[in-house]
């Protein structure tokens, strides 16, 4: 898994573009301000140059347990934005909407005049436009008749009566795990969505919801409210597919898990959402201690206000804010499960992915029908930087979900948005089966045991999920530690860096190790380690020089570890 670990990789990418615009403005922001009416406010990111000597915020007990399980050490991602910087931005008259410790930035609503004042602040590095994003939402394929539901066939070999939801569960192996007592109990899942309506539905009334927050309207109500932004029924569909429980009607894979629900999608502008709300929701999930993020939101096109869309070439895991945020979430030990998108097929070299499914460390989910054939709307890869996407597949056609319109109705819904929560729920069963499993182990187990693991491709990824095989891969006994890989490449620190960074890795047995640095073209820069080493934690400092001792220019580099058949890569950003 190639994890994006760079704090403010965006500074490098945006900063180079900003040189083409006045002051610290990115070209996108400059164009938006030029087009804005006098006094009109524009949404923007303000990136700061540093965090000073701040201390990391304390973690909740659950968050610390997740970090310990994934061996995540405290780093700059955990240090909050300096309050003096936030206050100085606010004093210009700009409205500060979200504060992101991951990006060391704040999102604001501000006029051109206020942004000019913000540019003058010495600790501001660059200012960029907050993107508004769009993805086709799932469609109601049919409403399930009550009599049809009651008479739907079930398989007597299973202990639970799934009713018509048997198809979506059996296709990925859920009933077999339910039969051994797994339900997702003890696992905390964060859902980033919108319109969590009708939570008193018979299949949802017993779902264990620990907390809710509406990042669009800044309140605790995540259901629809008259006159407020972000209304819709999308969250009802996805939550019920994942966690609903009404025997004979609908049973979700992780009906026993606990949940925090975040409304992050603003549907007022032709079903658009802004990237800063997604980032804020993901950081909230991290702070609360979520083990899994299930997000059926994918964004690439349909921007409002004349703003240009992302293109297929931007789906490279680095360009969009949500991809960077999702990869940072993964670096905190969270398993990020995201729908691949409903963009359908396109010929190479293009893709139809929606971000953050393009994230290096995101498990992107595509959709199949009941026969296992890829749904025509399911997005295809690969990413622009060559990653296989989608990762795995699950049912996304006529998925049984709770109706938002009645207390006991059910709908058949189509979209990768519904395949995503099925896989997220399955992942919760794997984590319950082995509470010591890391997000990387679960992700790899799902991919390596899927139906096309031997021949992954751009349409199906690694294939349809097989939860029984995935459980067997990571499990030696319920509650027992998962088998550790031979070697694990950790998060380099600092990153971005200048002039040195520490590259860390763990060895679990004596093995020959090769640790090398490559440039983005794949050419070898230098080899740092090439020898047999004993087990233990290792660390080596790289001074940003090539094998001849020459100092390297600013840019993105790849650190690659080979050990005992394991190959892992991390991105490094040299920022002079």
pLDDT digits (tens, 9 = 90+) for 269-294: 434 457 888 999 999 999 999 999 99
What percentage of the chain carries pLDDT values higher than 70?
Answer: 85
User: Of 91, 110, 130, which residue sits at a domain end?
Assistant: 130
Q: Are residues 537 and 445 in the same domain?
A: no
* 492: CATH: 2.60.40.4070
Quote the CA–CA distance of 417 and 338 in Å, as a whole number: 8
Quote the CA–CA distance of 357 and 33 in Å, as a whole number: 30
What percentage of the chain carries pLDDT values higher than 90?
Answer: 57
Q: Which residue has the higher pLDDT, 216 or 428?
A: 428
The pLDDT tens digits of the residues spanning 520-529 come to 777 899 999 9
Q: Are residues 282 and 365 in the same domain?
A: yes
In a domain, 4, yes or no: no
Q: Give the bridge partners for 507, in sequence order.
A: 487, 536
> What is the separation of C-alpha 340 from the centre of its chain, rounded to a whole number of angstroms?
11
Q: Are residues 398 and 511 in the same domain?
A: no
| Cβ atoms < 10 Å from Cβ of 499 | 12
* 19: CATH: 3.30.70.80
Which residue from 69, 58, 53 is spatially nearest to 333, judged by alpha carbons? 69
Quote the CA–CA distance of 190 and 366 in Å, as a whole number: 20
Quote the CA–CA distance of 202 and 195 in Å, as a whole number: 17
In a domain, 44, yes or no: yes
DSSP letters for 386-405 = ----S-EEEE-SSEEEE-TT
In a domain, 503, yes or no: yes
In a domain, 563, yes or no: yes
User: Residue 524 is encoded by which pair of tokens?
Assistant: 């070898």
User: Of 474, 507, 536, which residue sits at a domain end?
Assistant: 474
What local confidence, expressed as pLDDT, does residue 144 receive? Answer: 53
The pLDDT tens digits of the residues spanning 318-332 come to 888 888 899 999 989
Note whether 268 and 41 are within 8 A (CB).
no
The answer, yes or no, to whether residue 312 has pLDDT greater than 90, is: no
Per the structure, the complete domain to which residue 80 belongs is given by 9-60+73-130
Q: Are residues 172 and 287 in the same domain?
A: yes
The pLDDT tens digits of the residues spanning 337-372 come to 999 999 899 999 999 998 999 988 999 999 999 999
Quote the CA–CA distance of 253 and 403 in Å, as a whole number: 18
SS3 readout for 461-499: ECCECCHHHHHHHHCCCCCCCCCCCCEEECCCECCCECC
| Averaged pLDDT of the chain | 85
What local confidence, expressed as pLDDT, does residue 143 receive? Answer: 53
Catalytic residues: 193, 234, 417
Q: Are residues 241 and 102 in the same domain?
A: no
Model confidence band, residue 475 (pLDDT cutoffs 50, 70, 90): low
The pLDDT tens digits of the residues spanning 491-509 come to 787 777 888 888 988 888 8
Please give the C-alpha separations between residue 1 and each of 69, 183, 363, in angstroms, as whole numbers: 17, 27, 10
Q: Which residue has the higher pLDDT, 306 or 455?
A: 455
Quote the CA–CA distance of 272 and 281 in Å, as a whole number: 16
Buried b / exposed e over 156-181, threshold 16 CB at 10 Å, is eebebbbbbbbbbbbbbbbbbbbeee
What local confidence, expressed as pLDDT, does residue 557 receive? Answer: 87
The answer, yes or no, to whether residue 403 has pLDDT greater than 80, is: yes
Q: Are residues 46 and 125 in the same domain?
A: yes
Note whether 109 and 95 are within 8 A (CB).
yes
What local confidence, expressed as pLDDT, does residue 558 receive? Answer: 86
Least confident of 152-166, 297-311, 391-405: 297-311
> What is the separation of C-alpha 518 from the centre of its chain, rounded to a whole number of angstroms?
26
User: Residue 248 is encoded by which pair of tokens?
Assistant: 């004979």
What local confidence, expressed as pLDDT, does residue 476 receive? Answer: 47
Dihedral class, residue 508 (left if φ above 0, else alpha if ψ from -120 to 50, else beta): alpha
Q: Are residues 126 and 159 in the same domain?
A: no
Q: Are residues 222 and 334 in the same domain?
A: yes
Tell me how many domains the chain contains: 3
Note whether 416 and 365 are within 8 A (CB).
yes
Scan for tokens 């739907």, then name that residue: 152
Handedness of CA 361, 463, 135, 417 (dihedral sign): negative
Quote the CA–CA distance of 556 and 317 in Å, as a whole number: 13
H or E element, residue 226: none
The answer, yes or no, to whether residue 478 has pLDDT greater than 60, is: no
| Cβ atoms < 10 Å from Cβ of 349 | 9
What local confidence, expressed as pLDDT, does residue 19 receive? Answer: 36
In this prediction the pTM is 0.81
In a domain, 68, yes or no: no
User: Of 130, 147, 173, which residue sits at a domain end?
Assistant: 130
- The average pLDDT across 41-63 equals 89
Q: Give the bridge partners for 504, in sequence order.
A: 539
Scan for tokens 């909407």, then name that residue: 97
The answer, yes or no, to whether residue 426 has pLDDT greater than 90, is: yes
The answer, yes or no, to whether residue 484 has pLDDT greater than 70, is: no
In a domain, 307, yes or no: yes
Q: Are residues 177 and 210 in the same domain?
A: yes
* 397: CATH: 3.40.50.200
Q: Are residues 385 and 438 in the same domain?
A: yes
- The average pLDDT across 111-139 equals 83
What local confidence, expressed as pLDDT, does residue 162 receive? Answer: 95
In a domain, 527, yes or no: yes
Q: Are residues 229 and 119 in the same domain?
A: no
Q: Are residues 333 and 263 in the same domain?
A: yes
Least confident of 315-319, 512-516, 562-566: 562-566
DSSP letters for 202-214 = TTTTT-EEEEEEE
What local confidence, expressed as pLDDT, does residue 87 receive? Answer: 97
In a domain, 481, yes or no: no
Model confidence band, residue 336 (pLDDT cutoffs 50, 70, 90): very high
Cis peptide before 356 (omega within 30 of 0): yes
H or E element, residue 171: none
What local confidence, expressed as pLDDT, does residue 269 receive? Answer: 42
The answer, yes or no, to whether residue 125 has pLDDT greater than 70, is: yes
The pLDDT tens digits of the residues spanning 148-201 come to 444 444 445 788 999 999 999 999 999 999 999 999 999 999 999 888 989 999
Model confidence band, residue 565 (pLDDT cutoffs 50, 70, 90): confident
């Amino acid at each position: 898994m190639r994890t994006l670990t760079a704090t403010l990789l965006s500074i490098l990418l945006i900063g180079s573009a900003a040189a083409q615009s006045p002051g610290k403005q990115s070209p996108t922001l400059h164009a938006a301000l030029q087009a804005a009416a006098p006094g009109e406010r524009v949404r923007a990111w303000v990136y700061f140059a540093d965090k000073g000597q701040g201390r990391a915020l304390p973690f909740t007990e659950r968050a610390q347990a997740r970090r310990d399980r994934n061996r995540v050490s405290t780093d700059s991602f955990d240090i909050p934005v300096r309050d003096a910087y936030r206050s100085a931005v606010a004093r210009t008259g700009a409205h500060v909407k979200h504060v992101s410790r991951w990006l060391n930035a704040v999102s604001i609503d501000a006029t051109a005049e206020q942004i000019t004042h913000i540019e003058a602040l010495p600790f501001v590095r660059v200012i960029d436009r907050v993107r508004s994003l769009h993805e086709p939402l799932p469609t109601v394929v049919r409403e399930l008749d009550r009599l049809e539901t009651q008479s739907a066939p079930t398989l007597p070999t299973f202990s639970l009566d799934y009713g018509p939801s048997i198809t979506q569960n059996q296709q990925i192996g859920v009933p077999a795990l339910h039969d051994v007592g797994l339900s997702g109990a003890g696992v905390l899942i964060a859902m980033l969505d919108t319109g969590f309506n009708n939570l008193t539905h018979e299949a949802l009334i017993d779902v264990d919801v620990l907390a809710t927050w509406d990042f669009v309207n800044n309140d605790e109500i995540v259901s629809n409210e008259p006159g407020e932004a972000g209304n819709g029924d999308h969250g009802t569909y996805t939550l019920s597919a994942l966690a609903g429980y009404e025997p004979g009607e609908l049973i979700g894979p992780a009906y026993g898990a606990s949940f925090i629900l975040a409304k992050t999608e603003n549907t007022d502008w032709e079903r658009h959402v802004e990237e800063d709300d997604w980032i804020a929701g993901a950081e909230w999930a991290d702070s609360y201690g979520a083990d899994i993020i299930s997000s059926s939101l994918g964004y690439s096109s349909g921007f409002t206000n004349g703003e240009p869309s992302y293109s297929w070439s931007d789906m490279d895991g680095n360009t969009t804010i949500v991809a960077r945020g999702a990869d940072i979430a993964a670096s905190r030990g969270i398993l990020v499960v995201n729908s691949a998108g409903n963009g359908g097929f396109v010929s190479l070299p293009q893709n139809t992915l929606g971000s953050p499914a393009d994230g290096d460390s995101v498990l992107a989910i595509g959709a199949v029908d009941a026969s296992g054939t890829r749904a025509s709307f399911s997005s295809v890869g690969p990413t622009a930087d060559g990653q296989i996407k989608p990762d795995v597949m699950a049912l996304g056609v006529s998925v049984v979900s709770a109706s938002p319109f009645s207390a006991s109705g059910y709908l058949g819904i189509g979209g990768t948005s519904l395949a995503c929560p099925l896989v997220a729920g399955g992942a919760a069963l794997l984590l319950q089966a082995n509470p010591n499993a890391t997000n990387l182990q679960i992700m790899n187990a799902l991919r390596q045991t899927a139906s096309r693991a031997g021949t992954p491709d751009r349409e199906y990824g690694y294939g349809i999920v097989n939860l029984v095989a995935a459980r067997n891969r990571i499990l030696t006994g319920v509650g027992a530690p998962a088998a550790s890989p031979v070697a694990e490449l950790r998060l380099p620190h600092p990153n971005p860096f200048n002039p040195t960074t520490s590259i860390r890795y763990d060895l679990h047995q004596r093995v020959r190790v090769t640790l090398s640095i490559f440039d983005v073209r794949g050419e070898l820069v230098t080899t740092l380690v090439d020898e047999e080493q004993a087990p233990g934690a290792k660390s080596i400092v790289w001074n940003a020089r090539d094998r001849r001792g020459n100092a390297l220019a600013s840019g993105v580099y790849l650190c690659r570890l080979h050990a005992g058949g394991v190959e892992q890569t991390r991105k490094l950003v040299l920022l002079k």
